[in-house]
Amino acid sequence: MAEVKIIKLNENIYAKNEDQAEQTRKDLAAKGIFFMNVMSSPGSGKTTMLSKLINMMKDKVRIGEMDVDIQSTIDAQRVADATGVRSLQIHNGGLCHIDAEMTANAIKEFGVENLDVLILENIGNLVCPAEFDTGAHKNVMILSVPEGDDKPLKYPLMFSKCDVILINKMDTLEYFDFDLEKASSHILKLNPDAKIMPISAKTGEGMEQFANWILDERAKLNK
């Protein structure tokens, strides 16, 4: 029988990522900058929602946006054109995620000295992004009505990791077999502390509540 070599890796493989993430959180908090990581599947409405949100808030706080994609500058350009705020496109080399070191490098390149709120529009994926702490103070994810109310059951880690779940495209509810009460129940079983906010990025429904939550979270950094 052939000999098989065994090695033991006792160190957490995410330890380095967690250390960098915590440093990013501390550095931004010290500057009074609230950092929010937004995740979802492709087509959920991240870019449309962020454009609407930024336009609602940009007269109250200084906002910067960073967008992660494998290729193209489409989403970052859309946000910049729609809002007039500074936006940075991050190409992540074909990976399905962005980690804390990549994020820290992007923040350094972007320059955040004159910001109050920094938003990371993460790559469209319900699996990998949930596994890597980016250094954000809060994680937000979007579940859109057309995706179905069973997504929390299929992607539990994502829903467990997020502080806020935005249920987007509520204006389409009558056209899809989506049960809001059932979706909320699935989410809260995974994450009892999650805040669930039904919204429509198209009509603006529920967006004021989300904007106020961001302002409240930023205020907490300075206490």
**Which residues, given as ranges, of the chain have pLDDT below 50?**
5-10
pLDDT tens for residues 147-203? 999 999 999 999 999 999 999 999 999 999 999 999 999 999 999 999 999 999 999
Q: Measured between alpha carbons, how far is 221 from 18 in angstroms, rounded to an integer?
A: 20
Look at residue 8 in the predicted model and tell me its pLDDT: 45
CATH level 3 topology of 33-221 = Rossmann fold (3.40.50)
Look at residue 97 in the predicted model and tell me its pLDDT: 80
pTM, rounded to two decimals: 0.91
| Bridging pattern class, strands 117-121 and 63-69 | parallel
| Bridging pattern class, strands 117-121 and 138-144 | unpaired
Would you list the domain boundaries of the chain?
A: 33-221
Burial track 18-43 (b if 16+ CB lie within 10 A, e otherwise): eebbeebbeebbeeebbbbbbbbbee
Please choose, from the candidates 122, 126, 120, the residue with its C-alpha nearest in 3D space to the C-alpha of residue 148.
Answer: 126
